[in-house]
């Protein structure tokens, strides 16, 4: 009998403990706990893995602490472009949207694509029109804006850098536990339900100061999101370009399926060897068909949590050691 389990992440990045307040850290821990516990309750009540990950990511999108949905980062031009993907491990069905700026919850649009289209990925205005035709809530683009993200863009513009460079000097003045200028904000969830089905969902605002039209790994099945009942469900967060080049999420499934590696071996290989070798930073969450959980990251921290049905939820931000 499979014990259902869910894991979530809210992005990975660098830690500036000196800039962190206990109050802010508590806000992050509480948000992670509330959302992972909600997913755990859904699974305990018999929800599918797909429903649990969709709802967990929708809640993460609604929380302005995280870079997805409300609270998404700004592009170089001061706009928002959001990406999301869902994948069903039972059928290998995928739905995804990229470069949308008017869909309140991109993960719901991705789910609508999965359920209602023979296509896999819609972009921009076409994605918004498809979502509208399926009654997915639309908002004005400034719905996603927050003062903290605007200040983050101004810092990026004044240093003339895209905030992909986590080696750059931290300049932020607030008390976010992970340095918001060196944080790879993406949110995601993976789950195994009581029927043995796996699912994954990933959503992001991308990178602060990114060029308009740039798309990262999050909406790309196999790169930032993947689920296959035969192996594993994965959601990634990090330097999108490197996660695309390494096909990070799929590589874990392939190593497990074709090379007989354990979840732990495969996920550590991808994050600490392959992604790092190409200069990438970030992490991932993964659950395999047996219910094993892996939460590796090569950055200094990653907002993360997991909860098995019937057991206490665990959340963390920093390295454990």
Q: Which residues are at the interface with ligand GLY (CB under 6 A)?
A: 184, 186, 204, 206-207, 216-218, 224, 237-238, 240
- Residue whose beta carbon is closest to ligand GLY: 240
Nearest CB to ligand GLY, comparing residues 236 and 253: 236
Active site residue 16: no
Closest contact distance (angstroms) between CB of 193 and ligand GLY is: 26
Judge whether 4 and 309 are in contact, CB under 8 Å.
yes
| Residue 265, Cβ density class (10 Å: 0-12 exposed, 13-18 middle, ≥19 buried) | middle
> Would you tell me the crossing angle of helices 49-62 and 106-116 to the nearest 10 degrees?
150
- First-residue to last-residue Cα distance in the chain: 33
Give least dist CB 44 to ligand GLY, A.
30
Give yes or no for a contact between 83 and 206, defined as CB atoms under 8 angstroms apart: yes
For ligand GLY, which is the closer residue by CB, 13 or 224?
Answer: 224
Of the residues 16, 54, 75, 186, only one is catalytic, namely 186
DSSP 310: T
Least Å distance between CB 164 and ligand GLY?
A: 8
Contacts of 110 (CB under 8 A, 6+ apart): 84, 85, 86, 95, 96, 97, 201, 203, 219
Give the residue with the Cβ less far from ligand GLY, 40 or 106: 106
Residue 207 CB, nearest distance to ligand GLY (Å)? 6
The residues facing 103 across adjacent strands are 138
Q: Which is nearer to ligand GLY, 73 or 136 (CB)?
A: 73
Q: Mind telling me the catalytic residues?
A: 186
């Amino acid at each position: 009998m499979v014990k259902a389990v869910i894991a979530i992440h809210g992005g990975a990045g660098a830690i500036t403990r000196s800039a962190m307040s206990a109050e802010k850290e508590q806000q992050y821990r509480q948000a992670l706990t509330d959302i992972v516990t909600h997913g755990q309750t859904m699974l305990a009540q018999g929800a599918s893995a797909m429903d649990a990950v969709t709802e967990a990511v929708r809640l993460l999108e609604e929380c302005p602490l995280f870079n997805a949905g409300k609270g998404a980062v700004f592009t170089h031009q001061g706009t928002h472009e959001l990406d999301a993907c869902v994948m069903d491990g039972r059928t290998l069905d995928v739905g995804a949207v990229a470069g949308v700026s008017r869909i309140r919850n991109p993960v719901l649009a991705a789910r609508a694509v999965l359920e209602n289209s023979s296509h896999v990925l819609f972009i921009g205005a076409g994605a918004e029109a498809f979502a509208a035709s399926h009654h997915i809530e639309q908002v004005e683009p400034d719905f996603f804006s927050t003062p903290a993200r605007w200040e983050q863009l101004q810092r990026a513009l004044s240093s003339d850098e895209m905030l992909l460079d986590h080696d750059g000097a931290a300049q932020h003045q607030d008390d976010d536990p992970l340095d918001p200028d060196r944080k790879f904000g993406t949110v995601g969830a993976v789950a195994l339900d009581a029927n043995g089905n796996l699912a994954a969902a990933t959503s992001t605002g991308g990178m602060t100061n990114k060029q308009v039209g740039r798309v990262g790994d999050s909406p790309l099945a196999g790169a930032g999101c993947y689920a296959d009942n035969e192996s594993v469900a994965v959601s990634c967060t990090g330097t999108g370009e490197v996660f695309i080049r390494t096909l990070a999420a799929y590589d874990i499934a392939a190593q497990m399926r074709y090379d007989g590696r354990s979840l732990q071996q495969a996920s550590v290989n991808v994050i600490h060897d392959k992604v790092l070798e190409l200069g990438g930073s970030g992490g991932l969450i993964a659950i395999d068909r047996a219910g094993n959980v892996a939460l590796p990251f090569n950055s200094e921290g990653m907002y993360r949590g997991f909860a098995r049905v019937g057991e206490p939820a665990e959340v963390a931000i920093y390295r454990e050691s």
